[in-house]
Every structure is written in structure tokens, then in C-alpha cells.
Amino acid sequence: MPEQPYDVITMGRIGVDLYPLRTGVPLARVDTFGKFLGGSPSNVAVAAARLGRRTAVVTRTGEDPFGDYLREQLREFGVDARWVSPVAAYPTPVTFCEVFPPDDFPLYFYRQPKAPDLEIHASELDLEAVRAARVFWMTGTGLCAEPSRTATLAALRARDRSGITVFDLDWRPMFWPPGEANEADAPARYREALAHATVAVGNLDECEIATGEREPYAAARALIEAGVELAVVKQGPAGVLAVHRDGTVADVPPLPVDVVNGLGAGDAFGGALCHGLLSGWDLARTMRYANAAGAIVAARLACSSAMPFPHEVEAALAEGAVTAHGERA
């Protein structure tokens, strides 16, 4: 009997996030840190799992205790870790952040000389499972270095635009190694991936790298011209603009929220976007739902462990705001 397809498979970064246990304190003065599963596409999988979806991630860790931790965490969050293999040559990445609400969350990455998640080889992919997944989610960072770039494109080709294939534009210039596939190559890499995707998601900076446009409607139209059916442009305090190739538009304001930590909100949005698209909701409901999921995580210090359950998103939507008592015990 063939295995049921996954609802969502994500591919790309994973690492350990070390977050200050107090907010508003410079890193130099943070005494204690909490340890969390991190890495955007891995968090997207966690977010989708929290919303009841069957998910798996394709990524790699170091061959070390932090790698063991990440596999354990994925399993505890209900995310299949079968395609999370260790790389002996590199340590599991760690990322520190500073938390200065409402809008300043600097990150300090330790992914040198190379992150294990960039050592994903095309030959090791389960392309049948990738092809069968109802949603496949990849990110721009997966295109920054080999063999990850070739593997990511192989996965996109295997999809052959079946189902929902999401390209999270995720522009992190510091990850693009100088020389090899450098920043100047990024727009061409992005265009190549866009031709295989059915949905593109990004903020204005990311849209500009992918399309050269940073006016929201122009960027959305350019993403559709580049190949996708649905373009989702995140504009922070100005809300989210979603434009479908069929002419449907949803321009959704943000949910009022007292931000504690903005990190992870985009991943919650992404997991909820997958859930909405899989549920067949109309575009406006999907965007409102994803916005609410993002706002809930923004009101909490943690990221992966803060991803909301459906009743929490519904409550926020019913209330029209995320209340300050958003942190779960």
C-alpha cells in the first residue's frame, strides 16, 4: 500500500536558537538563554503541524548533541524527521538574538564555515515523496550554496508545478558566500526557482531581490509574471497583500498586537498559509488566518514552541486582536 502523501514538506535551514530569557536587554547583559528549535522552514513545518497538518522536513544537522536535540524536538512537535541526517564535517548552527520590542530583533548567526543544511544532496532526496506532498515549501537561502542549490532545484523540478509549491523568498545576504554564488547571482537564482513555484511569499526587500520591484502591487504582478499563481507580499505594519493570477486580491491589515518578539511570526504566518491553502479557504480568510497566527507568535517570546493551535488562532480572529496574555505556560 503506498504511503499517504504528506500535507507539507519543507526544505532548508535548521539550527538551535538561543533566546534571552528577558526581553529588552542587550545581548552583552543577557545572563541566561533558552534553547529552541530554529530555522525558518523547520519552524514553518512546526507551525503547520500545530494546525493539524502531517508534515516533514528535509534538512541536515551537525553530528553532535544539538543535532540530536533538533531531531528530538521535531518529533515532539509532530514533524517527521526521517530526512534530517547528520553531517560529520560541520557543527549544528546556533543563532543568538537580541529582543528589543516592538521592531528590533538583531540575529547573530554561527553557521561557519558552512551550515550542514547547505549539504543537502540531490541524490539523497526522496523525490517521490517530494512530488506527492500536497504542499512543498522551500526558501531562497537554499539557493545560496551547493549542493543545496542543485538539490532544491531538483526538488522543484520533481514537483513539476503539481500541488502547491511555495517559494519563501527569504533573502539573507550574509548566507551567500562571496565568490561562488554571490549576491549578484541571487536575482537569477530566484527567477529560476520562481518558474517552478506556484506561490511566492516575501517582504518588500525580498520581492525587490526577486523581481526588482518594491511597490507591493507591482511586486505581486512581477512575481506572477515570473511564474507563480499566488503572490503574497508582507508589508509589516501595513499588512499583507495577496494577489492571485485569476484576479483575486486580498489586502489584509495586521491584527493589533503588543509585540514581544517579532522573530518566528513570519514562520507562523507560513505554516498557517499552508493550512489555509490546503483547507481550500478563500484568499481573504487564508490571509486573515495567517496574519493572526503570526501575531500570536509575535506576542510570545519563543518561536517554535510558541506556534499556535487552531483554537488560539480562531480566538484571536474572533477577538480582532492578540491580547497580551498570549504566552502559553
Give the burial string for 211-235 (b: 16+ CB within 10 Å, else e).
bebeebeebbbbbbebbbbbbbbbb
Print the binding letters for residues 8-47 with a copy of itself: x by CB under 8 A, - otherwise. ----------x--x----xxxxxxxxxx------------
Give the ranges where 113-211 is alpha helix by DSSP (H): 127-132, 148-159, 186-194, 204-211
Print the binding letters for residues 48-87 with a copy of itself: x by CB under 8 A, - otherwise. ----------------xxx-xx--x---------------
**Minimum CB distance to a copy of itself smaller for 65 or for 236:** 65
Minimum distance between the CB of residue 112 and a copy of itself, rounded to whole angstroms? Answer: 4
Nearest alpha-carbon partner for 52 in 70, 73, 79, 83? 79
**Minimum CB distance to a copy of itself smaller for 98 or for 206:** 98
20-23 contacts at long range (C-beta below 8 A, 24 or more positions apart): 20/97, 20/98, 20/99, 21/301, 23/99, 23/100, 23/101, 23/260, 23/261, 23/301
Print the binding letters for residues 81-100 with a copy of itself: x by CB under 8 A, - otherwise. ----------x--x-x-x--
**Minimum CB distance to a copy of itself smaller for 22 or for 82:** 22
Minimum distance between the CB of residue 68 and a copy of itself, rounded to whole angstroms? Answer: 5
Contacts (CB under 8 A) with a copy of itself, residues 112-131: 112-113
Beta bridge partners of 55: 8, 79
Contacts (CB under 8 A) with a copy of itself, residues 269-288: none
How far apart, in whole angstroms, are the C-alpha atoms of residue 184 and residue 176?
10
Contacting residues toward a copy of itself, per CB under 8 A: 18, 21, 26-35, 64-66, 68-69, 72, 91, 94, 96, 98, 108, 110, 112-113
